[in-house]
């Protein structure tokens, strides 16, 4: 696939950011998650997840996502944005474990879910990766459709993977929290087992998508080689000691396999952030801004102490940037910028560029 000059230039900017480990570099991404457009203005109606038949509607789903990507890129074209246009599969959280377990997926308006399928941890050996699993097949078929309609104007990112803890939690349910105390050896084995479907799915997707300029796009950031998305929501609800005992080894298996990874976790899990930052091969660590908690950007001094040379992704507003610009300059940071208008975005990005080393 030949990509547009704009995408290639963006990947080279990201390459320079990753290669220079000195502090003071700031990348900025304004994405659909942080700048909301009403796509109805362009004739794209809102659709709840429950309205899709993902077995039959794959082509419509892909063409809709492609159009929304084009709208967002065109609308923000005048912005000095480090956002790498990329599309992927979002069928709600239920699919994140169903492609491994074959569980029924229940769709709501904005997400999906499953019910636990493992009543006894001792039965975990009954779970197996199955290429005939319908959700696995749908994920790959939609990925192939993205390739079919690709014109070099977007990259196809991997899956927003549940990390081993998240996968185990979805399969076992909240009984898993009691298992940490009652069945520690089985939990360790189960966590390791839950790393394997993540590796399997990511490898399957990559065989279809290939690379862009020698790398991959995750969370609309470019990384050399592989950088699968890994969610650590379950681990955020555990103590740091429990993460080191149960979650670290299985998570490291994924990072070791791909020699890279992007990690998402929450301010609720601030207490495990230092341990996450120590994981080998991690390329970018995001700490998410959560309702009713202090924003991570208020803790930058402490976060830099935890990070060393590892870059941090943090979501914040324009006002946060102006307030904390001196602290932002002390490390390497990817700013997920929340804005309300193009003018606001252009003004604050210009301000960031005037203070950034890169």
Mean per-residue pLDDT over the chain, rounded: 97
The 10 Å Cβ neighbour count of residue 259 is: 13
> Which pLDDT value is given to residue 357?
94
User: How much is the average pLDDT of 82-86?
Assistant: 98
User: How much is the average pLDDT of 278-293?
Assistant: 96
User: How much is the average pLDDT of 233-259?
Assistant: 98
- Structural tokens at position 328: 């932002």
In the beta sheet, which residues pair with residue 264? 231, 286
Query: Are 322 and 351 spatial neighbours (Cβ–Cβ below 8 Å)?
Result: yes
Distance, CA of 117 to CA of 172 (rounded, Å): 6
Q: pLDDT tens for residues 301-324?
A: 999 999 999 999 999 999 999 999
- Structural tokens at position 303: 């976060």
Distance, CA of 131 to CA of 99 (rounded, Å): 9
Q: What is the residue extent of each domain of the chain? A: 5-355
User: How much is the average pLDDT of 101-110?
Assistant: 96
247 has pLDDT over 90: yes
> Which pLDDT value is given to residue 264?
98
CATH architecture of 5-355: Alpha-Beta Barrel (3.20)
> Which pLDDT value is given to residue 287?
98
Q: pLDDT tens for residues 188-229?
A: 999 999 999 999 999 999 999 999 999 999 999 999 999 999
- With left for phi above 0 and alpha for psi between -120 and 50, is residue 344 left, alpha or beta? alpha
Distance, CA of 114 to CA of 102 (rounded, Å): 10
Q: Which residues contact 36 (CB under 8 A, 6 or more apart)?
A: none
- With left for phi above 0 and alpha for psi between -120 and 50, is residue 210 left, alpha or beta? left
Distance, CA of 335 to CA of 315 (rounded, Å): 6
> Which pLDDT value is given to residue 266?
97
Q: pLDDT tens for residues 114-155?
A: 999 999 999 999 999 999 999 999 999 999 999 999 999 999
Residue 1 banded pLDDT, cuts 50, 70, 90? confident
> Which pLDDT value is given to residue 246?
98
């Amino acid at each position: 696939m030949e990509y547009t000059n704009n995408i290639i230039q963006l990947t080279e900017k990201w390459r320079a950011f990753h290669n220079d480990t000195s502090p003071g570099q700031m990348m900025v991404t304004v994405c659909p998650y942080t700048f909301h457009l009403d796509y109805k203005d362009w004739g794209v109606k809102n659709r709840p997840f429950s309205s899709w038949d993902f077995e039959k509607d794959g082509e419509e789903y892909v063409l809709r996502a492609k159009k929304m990507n084009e709208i967002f890129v065109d609308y923000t074209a005048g912005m000095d944005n480090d956002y790498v246009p990329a599309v992927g599969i979002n069928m709600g959280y239920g699919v994140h474990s169903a492609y491994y377990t074959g569980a029924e997926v229940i769709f709501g308006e904005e997400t999906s879910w499953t019910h636990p399928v493992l009543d006894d941890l001792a039965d975990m050996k009954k779970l197996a990766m199955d290429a005939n699993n319908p959700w696995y097949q749908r994920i790959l078929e939609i990925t192939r459709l993205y390739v079919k309609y690709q014109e070099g104007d977007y990259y196809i990112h991997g899956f927003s993977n549940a990390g081993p803890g998240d996968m185990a939690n979805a399969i076992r349910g909240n009984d898993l929290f009691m298992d940490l105390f009652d069945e520690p050896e089985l939990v360790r084995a189960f966590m390791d087992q839950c790393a394997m479907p993540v590796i399997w799915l990511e490898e399957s997707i990559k065989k279809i998508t290939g690379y862009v300029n020698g790398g991959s796009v995750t969370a609309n950031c470019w990384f050399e080689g592989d950088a699968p998305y890994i969610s650590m929501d379950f681990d955020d609800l555990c103590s740091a000691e429990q993460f080191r005992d149960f979650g670290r080894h299985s998570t490291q298996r994924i990072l070791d396999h791909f020699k890279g990874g992007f990690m998402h976790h929450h301010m609720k899990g601030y207490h495990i952030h230092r341990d996450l930052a120590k994981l080998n091969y991690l390329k970018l660590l995001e700490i998410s801004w959560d309702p009713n908690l202090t924003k991570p950007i208020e803790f930058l001094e402490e976060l830099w102490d935890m990070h060393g040379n590892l870059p941090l992704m943090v979501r914040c507003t324009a006002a946060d940037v102006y307030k904390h610009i001196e602290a932002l300059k002390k490390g390497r940071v990817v700013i997920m910028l929340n804005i309300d208008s193009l003018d606001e975005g252009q003004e604050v990005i210009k301000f960031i560029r005037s203070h950034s080393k890169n």
